[in-house]
């Protein structure tokens, strides 16, 4: 693990991070982000929560699909669990949370969250973390991800499928190299600044 000033400022009395199969991703004086890498660690961190990862079968299901990241507030022991591949971000009562609001509260953790999702574009869209001017060199199927908006000047080489999303407006200068599928969305008009090389499917 790379030792940074933030790591040095963290309370090293929490040695369970190493003992129980966890890995520190980020730490400062307010919170620590931990990758949960074993069921033993999952049981330890989920104690007194309603998270299902206390069960080995559920933990295995989550870890098979991707990362599990725990955020712990050091002054209150409040815990939050992120599963990018399942598009879930929950508090200890297992209630879904708004990632944008969390990052506004703890902006220094954003780079760690983005790194955890860098290979999972569905999670990036679901949590609203795709940056403006992003280009995807493949199709995007965002069906049912509850996407409400798209980043400015998004570029997609092939098809863009937005079915079953509450999105109502497409961004200016959107580029779609294939078909644009907006069935079961709230989109009613296509701005003249958008380029669609294939069909628009309503």
Chain segment 130-146, per-residue pLDDT in tens: 999 999 999 999 999 99
Whole-angstrom distance, CA of residue 141 vs CA of residue 115: 21
Whole-angstrom distance, CA of residue 32 vs CA of residue 176: 40
Integer angstrom CA distances of residue 182 from 11, 140, 162, 185, 201: 50, 12, 5, 6, 6
Looking at every residue in the chain, the average pLDDT score rounds to 90
Answer yes or no: is pLDDT of 68 > 50.
yes
Whole-angstrom distance, CA of residue 176 vs CA of residue 199: 10
Q: Write down the H helix ranges in the chain.
A: 5-9, 16-19, 39-45, 56-65, 99-105, 110-116, 121-126
Mean pLDDT of 106-121: 92
Give the number of other CB atoms < 10 A from CB of residue 150. Answer: 23
């Amino acid at each position: 693990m790379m030792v940074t000033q933030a790591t040095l400022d963290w309370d090293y009395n929490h040695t369970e991070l190493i003992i129980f199969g966890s890995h520190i991703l980020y730490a400062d004086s307010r919170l620590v982000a931990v990758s949960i890498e074993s069921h033993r660690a999952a049981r330890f961190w989920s104690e007194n929560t309603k998270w299902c990862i206390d069960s080995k079968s559920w933990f295995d299901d989550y870890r098979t699909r991707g990362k599990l990241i725990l955020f712990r507030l050091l002054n209150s022991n409040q815990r939050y669990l992120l599963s990018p591949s399942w598009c879930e971000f929950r508090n200890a009562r297992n209630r879904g949370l708004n990632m944008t609001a969390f990052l506004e509260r703890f902006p220094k953790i954003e780079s760690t969250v983005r790194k955890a999702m860098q290979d999972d574009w569905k999670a990036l869209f679901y949590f609203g973390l795709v940056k403006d001017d992003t280009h995807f060199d493949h199709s995007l199927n965002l069906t049912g991800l509850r996407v409400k908006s798209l980043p400015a000047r998004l570029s997609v080489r092939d098809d863009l499928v937005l079915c079953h999303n509450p999105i109502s407006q497409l961004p200016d200068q959107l580029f779609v190299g294939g078909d644009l599928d907006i069935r079961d969305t709230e989109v009613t008009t296509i701005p003249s600044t958008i380029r669609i090389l294939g069909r628009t499917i309503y």
